[in-house]
Amino acid sequence: MAYDKKMSRYIYSYSIGLAIFIVSFCSIEYFPNALFEDDAYFYFQIAKNILDLGQSTFDGISTTNGYHPLWMAILVAVGVPLKLAGVHSLSIYAGFFIAVSCLVWVSILLQLEGWAILLGAILSLYCGLGMEAPLAALFLILIFDRMLNDKPAAIWVYLLVATRVDMAMVLLPILFLTRIKDKGYIVLAALLAEGTIAIFNFILTGHPYSISGLIKSGMMATGPLAIAAENFSSPGNLYRYLVVAVINISLFYFIRTNINLRPNNQRLWLALIITANTFLLAHTFMSFTRHWYFAPTLLPLLYLWSRLNPEHLNAQSGYKIKTYGSAPMALMVGLGSVLFIAYIAHNLNDMRASKTFFEDILKTVPSGNVIYALDGAGYPAWMLNGHSQVINGDGLVNSFEYFNKTLRNCDMQSYFRKNNVRYYLVNSAGKDNCPIPCFCLNAGEYNQVLASTSKRKFTSYRLFAMSPK
């Protein structure tokens, strides 16, 4: 019976994983920007360039470390067989990159039970397909599992922090609120992971931190309340925060009312709930919460909710809580499905327009050119991979030299001249004649070549060509 139950869970989870793969692959092929944030294309583009050029670069010009190395290493490793086989198709590479992301989600779903599995599947569409955060969520779940079973977790702590260095913050509630063994090993594992990332960054760029981390640290000029208000402003974020609230209410109510838990176990559970919330709570007030920022909080909370039954708790065998809170979870599944379908239906034409726009570039712009894009450069670079070099203008996946010498000094003319930039790409977030806010071209120095019919803020692309002098 136990074997049949385990097999059923495997079949169920892998079937859902296959469905996620089909939906996400069709998205990247036909409806770009439906599921994948621009940052996912950053990963795909840099991984492909590492394989093709042997250089950690986004644009083929500058070396960058604007990513989390462990996830990048996994994508590169997945692409090695394709490289050795002489495969050049972007679709095939995208398929392999998406497949490894879906395997991470399947590994997470295998840790869940009941309605949490379906809700986890829905959240895969909301919480960063192609990004590193779900991998961090998986490692945090494995840490929770080890602690609930009184087993050492140092190796998973190392991998957690190696996935995202800022995940180290979630270890603090565990260290201060629990009585688990081997706390020293947990601290050592976190420090070793931080050191590993610093050494990698230093070897690659001469700096112990990433260029994206440097730039983002100086971007938050507003106060924490204003940042939080911005984070709650999008419908997608409202749904994600709502799911966080529903799961937390269920968990805290359970801890508050369940007298069958042993006191020490109850203390551990409370610490794990706080731990799961730490990452999202910190970023809600410190930075703009992107889709994938929710994964390291939502998925570990779902794991804890899945453990609310006598099989996993030190409770009396007759204590019936196997379906505890199932109705709210089912409601979140339904609401998430409706919102996602509505989102796709509302933006479908604009998603198609984005793909058509870059297909037109491939047909009309000669290959071998350099295109400068201030923001939203990830998808353009991926679509034009092998055709044109796309420069990331905001510097997040560019070089330290570009940020320090070009952006800070607004020395764009020298940069454009040095790199033979003949085209620049803008979207509705920027002005037509200003590739960056401090550098504007005069009338007659540029001509619009192509324009997308998309009305979305970051996909309403327009391509301009520099006038020859």
So what's the pLDDT on residue 431? 63
Residue 260: the pLDDT is: 55
Helix (H, G, I), strand (E, B) or coil at 156: helix
**3-class secondary structure for 61-120?**
CCECCCCCHHHHHHHHHHHHHHHHCCCCCHHHHHHHHHHHHHHHHHHHHCCCCCHHHHHH
Q: Are residues 287 and 395 in the same domain?
A: no
Question: Is residue 160 within 8 Å of residue 182, measured between CB atoms?
Answer: no
For the whole model, what pTM was predicted?
A: 0.93
- Out of 69-73, 147-151, 435-439, least confident range: 435-439
Residues in the chain: 469
Residue 280 to residue 295: CA distance in whole angstroms = 9
- The helix (run of H) or strand (run of E) holding residue 157 is helix 154-163
Whole-number pLDDT of residue 321: 43
Residue 240 belongs to a domain: yes
Per the structure, how many domains does the chain have? 2
**366 & 286 share domain:** no
Q: How confident is the model at residue 384 (pLDDT cuts 50, 70, 90)?
A: very high
Residue that is last in its domain, among 256, 289, 324: 324
Model pLDDT for residues 243-253, shown as the tens digit of each residue = 999 999 988 88
Q: Residues 134-173: pLDDT tens digits?
A: 999 999 999 999 998 889 999 999 999 999 999 999 999 9
What are the CA-CA distances from residue 414 to residues 19, 32, 72, 410 (Å)? 49, 34, 32, 10
**364 and 311 fall within a common domain:** no
Least confident of 43-47, 219-223, 270-274, 330-334: 219-223
Predicted local distance difference test score (pLDDT) of residue 264: 56
pLDDT at residue 215, as a whole number: 87
Q: Could you give the CA distance from residue 294 to residue 242 in angstroms, rounded to a whole number? A: 11
Q: Which tens digits make up the pLDDT trace of 313-353?
A: 554 444 444 445 688 889 999 999 999 999 988 888 888 89
| Amino acid at site 27 | S
Mean pLDDT of 283-293: 90
Beta-carbon contacts of 321 under 8 Å, excluding residues fewer than 6 positions away, are 254, 258, 308, 309, 310, 315
Taking residues 435-444, report their average pLDDT. 73
Contact by Cβ (8 Å): 157, 171: yes
What percent of the chain lies above the pLDDT cut of 90? 61
The answer to whether 132 and 71 are in contact (CB under 8 A) is yes
**pLDDT score, position 94:** 95
- Tell me: do 294 and 354 sit in the same domain: no
Does the pLDDT value for residue 50 go beyond 50? yes
Burial class (CB in 10 A: 0-12, 13-18, 19+), 158: buried
83 close to 51: Cβ distance less than 8 angstroms: yes
Walk across the sheet containing 370-373 and list its strands.
389-392, 370-373, 421-426, 462-466, 446-451
Please report whether residue 231 resides in a domain.
yes
Do 172 and 243 reside in the same domain of the chain?
yes
- Between 376 and 294, where is the model more confident? 294
- Give residue 141's pLDDT: 97
Buried b / exposed e along 396-431 (16+ C-beta atoms within 10 A): bbbbbebbeebbeeeebeebbeebebbbbbbbbebe
* Burial bucket for residue 219 (CB in 10 Å: 0-12, 13-18, 19+): exposed
Averaged confidence pLDDT in the chain: 88
Mean pLDDT across 47-69: 96
CB 56 within 8 A of CB 65: yes
Look at residue 163 in the predicted model and tell me its pLDDT.
Answer: 97
User: In terms of domains, do 19 and 162 share one?
Assistant: yes
Residue 352 belongs to domain spanning: 348-466
395 by DSSP, 3-state: which?
A: coil
Residues 108 and 248 in one domain: yes
pLDDT at 118: 94
Q: What mean pLDDT do residues 261-279 have? A: 82
Segment among 1-5, 137-141, 424-428 with least mean pLDDT: 1-5
Whether 358 and 413 share a structural domain: yes
Q: 58-62, 397-401, 427-431: which range is least confident on average?
A: 427-431
Residue 208 and residue 69: Cα distance in Å, rounded? 13
pLDDT at 371 > cutoff 90: yes
Please indicate, yes or no, whether residues 399 and 357 belong to a single structural domain of this protein: yes
Tokens of 39: 């940052």
Check pLDDT > 60 for residue 40: yes
Please check whether residues 269 and 371 belong to one and the same domain: no
What was the pLDDT predicted at 258?
A: 63
Instruction: State what percent of residues in the chain have pLDDT above 70.
Output: 91
Q: What are phi and psi of 392, to 5 degrees?
A: -80, 105
Confidence of residue 367 (pLDDT cuts 50, 70, 90): very high
- What does the pLDDT read at residue 430? 55
